[in-house]
C-alpha cells in the first residue's frame, strides 16, 4: 500500500447518553463506546468499504475521520498532517461527506441552483458571474437536467436528491468523498446507477472513497478493500475479492451468508447469529463477538465441537443473567427425582440443542451435574459450575488484528497457539 491519504491510529469516539437538561449540565449519563481503538488507512485513489450491522459505530467512525465529530482519544491524519492542524476551509475543500438521507441534508427552502452554488460562494472557487454555468455542468455530470435547477428538493426522487447532494459535494473539487449509506433508500436499479456513477466520477476526478454500508452486496461492487466493524471495533479487513472468496472472521462469514442469492439452485446455508448485538455502553470482555459467535473456542482441556460448546455457553449465559423463564415449562413443580428428573435434564438439552452425551466424558459429567442442579432448583449453583469449568479464552482475552492470508483478522481462531482445527467453518 502507498502512503495513506487518511489514517486513524487507536481512534476512539465515546459520548454520554443524557435524558434532560440537568443531566447534560451535570455530565450525568452512560458512556457509549461507539468507536473503540480503531486503526484504519485509506490510500489515494482507493475505495474502502466500511460494513457492519446498524449500531456498530460505522457512521460515528466516518464522521470522526473527517472532523465532523471530536475523537475521545487517538489520532487522525490527512496527508500526514493531524486533522486538527487543518483549517476548516482547507479540510472541507479536500474532504466532503455525502449524508445518508439527502432530503435531510438539503435545505428545503433553497432551489437546487442555490444548494449546489453555495459551496462555490463560501470557498470563493468560481466567480459569481460563472456560478450558474458551473452548477449546470455539475448537475449534468451527475445525470440531472440543468433545466431543473430552479426546482426545490421535494420535487425530486430519492435517487435524484442523492445526485444533487453529490453535485454539491463535487463543487469544491475534493479528493476524498465519504459516502454514508449512499444507496440504502433506493431501489435496486437506482442503486446500480448510483454505484456506476460513483465509479465513473472516481475515474474522471481521481477521487478516493470511504463507503459506509450495512449491505455487503453493494460494497462488493465498489470497494477495493473492505473493513468489517462490530461493536465499535474493526474485526476483519482485507481486499474485497479475498474477503468474499474466503471470509476469515466468523462475523464476516455470517454477514456474507445473509446476502440474498438470486440463484434458485443455491444450496448454501444461512448463518443465523443468536441474540442481539450487546450494548456499546457495556460491551463484553474479551472478544466482543463471543456472545454470538457460532465457533467460539472451547476450553483447551476439553475435546468439544464448537457447535456443542456454543450451545453450552448459551445455556450458561442465560443462567448468569437470570433469564430462566424458560425453566417453568421444563421443570415440573412437583416430583424432581427419578424418571422425571432425567426427562427434565434431557428437555434442557433439547431446549439448547446440546448433544447427549458430549464427546468428552469429563465435560459430560460436569454438564450433567449442572443440569441436575437446575432441576433441583439450584440455578445459581449450576451457573457457577458451568462458569468454573467451561470458560472460553474468547471471553477473557481481547484478540488483536493480525495477518491471516490477505486479511487482518481479530479472532482467536487464528492465534498461533490456539489455531489447531478451530479454523473450521460454522457449517462444517
* Continuous segment of H or E residues that includes residue 34: strand 31-43
What cell numbers appear for 96 in the block? Answer: 466532503
Q: Confirm whether 283 is domain-assigned.
A: no
Q: Confirm whether 324 is domain-assigned.
A: yes
What cell numbers appear for 123 in the block? Answer: 470557498
Q: Is residue 57 domain-shared with residue 184, that is, in the same domain?
A: yes
How far apart are the C-alpha atoms of 208 and 338, rounded to whole Å? Answer: 69
Burial classification of residue 27, based on how many CB atoms lie within 10 Å of its CB (0-12 exposed, 13-18 middle, 19 or more buried):
exposed
Q: Is residue 176 domain-shared with residue 311, that is, in the same domain?
A: no
Question: 316-331 in b/e burial notation, b at 16+ Cβ within 10 A?
Answer: bbbbeeeeeeebeebb
Alpha-helix residue ranges (DSSP H) falling in 37-111: 58-65, 88-94, 102-105
Q: Confirm whether 359 is domain-assigned.
A: yes
Q: What ranges make up the beta strands (E) of 214-347?
A: 225-230, 233-239
Nearest to 76 by CA among 14, 12, 175, 7: 7
The pTM of the full predicted model, rounded to 2 decimals, is 0.88
Q: Is residue 40 domain-shared with residue 133, that is, in the same domain?
A: yes
Residue 181 three-state SS: coil
Q: Is residue 67 domain-shared with residue 209, that is, in the same domain?
A: yes
How far apart are the C-alpha atoms of 345 and 330, rounded to whole Å? Answer: 9
Listed in sequence order, the residues at least 6 apart from 219 whose beta carbon sits closer than 8 Å to its beta carbon are 49, 51, 211, 213, 226, 240
CA 362 vs CA 117, 123, 218, 372, 374: distances in Å: 73, 72, 48, 16, 19
Q: Is residue 182 domain-shared with residue 326, that is, in the same domain?
A: no
Query: In this predicted structure, what is the pLDDT of residue 354?
Result: 94
Domain encompassing residue 378: 306-391
Q: Confirm whether 263 is domain-assigned.
A: no
Q: Is residue 86 domain-shared with residue 208, that is, in the same domain?
A: yes
How far apart are the C-alpha atoms of 196 and 198, rounded to whole Å? Answer: 5
The C-alpha angle 57, 403, 230, rounded to 5 degrees, equals: 15
Residue 251 contacts residue 228 (beta carbons within 8 Å): yes
What cell numbers appear for 298 in the block? Answer: 472451547
Query: In this predicted structure, what is the pLDDT of residue 207?
Result: 96
Q: Please state the domain count of the chain.
A: 2
Q: Confirm whether 136 is domain-assigned.
A: yes
Q: Confirm whether 403 is domain-assigned.
A: no
Q: Which of 189, 223, 257 is the last residue of a domain?
A: 223
Q: Per-residue pLDDT tens, the chain, 428 aa: give them.
A: 567 999 999 999 998 876 555 555 555 678 899 999 999 999 999 999 999 998 899 999 999 999 999 999 999 999 999 999 999 999 999 999 999 888 888 999 999 999 999 999 999 888 898 999 999 999 999 999 999 999 999 999 999 999 999 999 999 999 999 999 998 878 888 889 999 999 999 999 999 999 999 888 889 889 999 999 999 999 999 999 999 888 889 999 999 888 876 666 655 677 878 777 888 999 999 999 999 999 999 998 999 998 999 999 999 988 888 776 777 777 655 544 445 566 788 889 998 999 989 999 999 999 999 999 988 888 889 999 999 999 899 999 999 998 888 889 999 988 866 544 444 444 44
Query: In this predicted structure, what is the pLDDT of residue 285?
Result: 92
- Any idea what the CATH number is for the domain that residue 208 is in? 3.40.50.300
Amino acid at each position: 500500500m502507498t502512503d495513506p491519504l487518511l489514517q486513524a491510529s487507536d481512534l476512539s469516539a465515546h459520548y454520554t447518553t443524557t435524558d434532560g437538561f440537568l443531566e447534560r449540565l451535570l455530565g450525568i449519563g452512560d458512556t457509549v463506546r461507539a468507536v473503540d481503538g480503531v486503526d484504519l488507512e485509506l490510500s489515494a485513489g482507493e475505495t474502502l468499504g466500511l460494513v457492519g450491522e446498524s449500531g456498530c459505530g460505522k457512521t460515528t467512525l466516518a464522521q470522526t475521520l473527517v472532523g465532523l465529530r471530536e475523537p475521545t482519544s487517538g489520532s487522525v491524519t490527512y496527508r500526514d498532517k493531524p486533522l486538527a492542524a487543518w483549517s476548516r476551509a482547507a479540510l472541507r475543500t479536500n474532504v466532503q461527506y455525502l449524508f445518508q438521507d439527502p432530503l435531510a441534508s438539503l435545505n428545503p427552502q433553497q432551489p437546487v441552483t442555490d444548494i449546489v452554488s453555495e459551496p462555490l460562494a463560501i470557498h470563493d472557487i468560481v466567480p459569481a458571474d460563472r456560478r450558474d454555468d458551473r452548477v449546470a455542468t455539475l448537475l449534468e455530470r451527475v445525470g440531472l437536467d440543468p433545466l431543473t435547477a430552479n426546482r426545490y428538493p421535494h420535487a425530486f426522487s430519492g435517487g435524484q436528491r442523492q445526485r444533487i447532494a453529490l453535485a454539491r459535494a463535487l463543487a469544491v473539487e475534493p479528493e476524498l468523498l465519504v459516502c454514508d449509506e449512499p444507496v440504502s433508500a433506493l431501489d435496486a436499479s437506482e442503486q446500480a446507477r448510483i454505484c456506476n456513477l460513483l465509479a465513473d466520477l472516481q475515474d474522471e476526478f481521481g477521487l478516493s472513497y470511504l463507503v459506509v454500508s450495512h449491505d455487503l452486496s453493494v460494497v462488493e461492487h465498489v470497494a477495493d478493500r473492505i473493513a468489517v466493524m462490530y461493536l465499535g471495533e474493526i474485526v476483519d479487513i482485507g481486499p474485497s475479492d479475498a474477503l468474499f472468496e474466503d471470509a476469515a472472521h466468523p462475523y464476516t462469514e455470517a454477514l456474507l451468508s445473509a446476502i440474498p442469492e438470486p440463484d434458485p439452485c443455491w444450496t448454501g446455508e444461512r448463518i443465523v447469529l443468536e441474540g442481539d448485538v450487546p450494548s456499546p455502553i457495556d460491551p463484553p470482555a474479551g472478544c466482543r463477538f463471543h456472545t454470538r459467535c457460532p465457533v467460539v473456542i472451547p476450553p483447551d482441556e476439553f475435546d468439544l465441537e464448537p457447535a456443542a460448546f456454543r450451545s453450552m455457553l448459551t445455556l450458561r449465559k442465560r443462567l448468569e443473567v437470570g433469564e430462566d423463564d424458560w425453566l417453568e415449562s421444563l421443570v415440573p413443580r412437583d416430583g424432581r427425582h427419578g424418571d422425571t428428573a432425567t426427562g427434565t435434564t434431557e428437555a434442557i438439552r433439547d431446549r439448547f440443542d446440546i448433544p447427549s452425551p458430549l464427546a468428552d466424558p469429563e465435560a459430560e459429567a460436569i454438564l450433567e451435574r449442572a443440569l441436575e442442579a437446575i432441576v433441583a432448583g439450584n440455578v445459581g449453583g449450576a451457573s457457577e459450575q458451568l462458569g468454573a469449568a467451561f470458560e472460553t479464552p474468547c471471553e477473557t482475552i481481547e484478540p488483536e488484528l493480525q495477518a491471516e492470508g490477505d486479511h487482518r483478522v481479530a479472532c482467536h481462531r487464528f492465534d498461533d497457539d490456539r489455531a489447531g482445527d478451530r479454523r473450521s467453518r460454522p457449517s462444517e
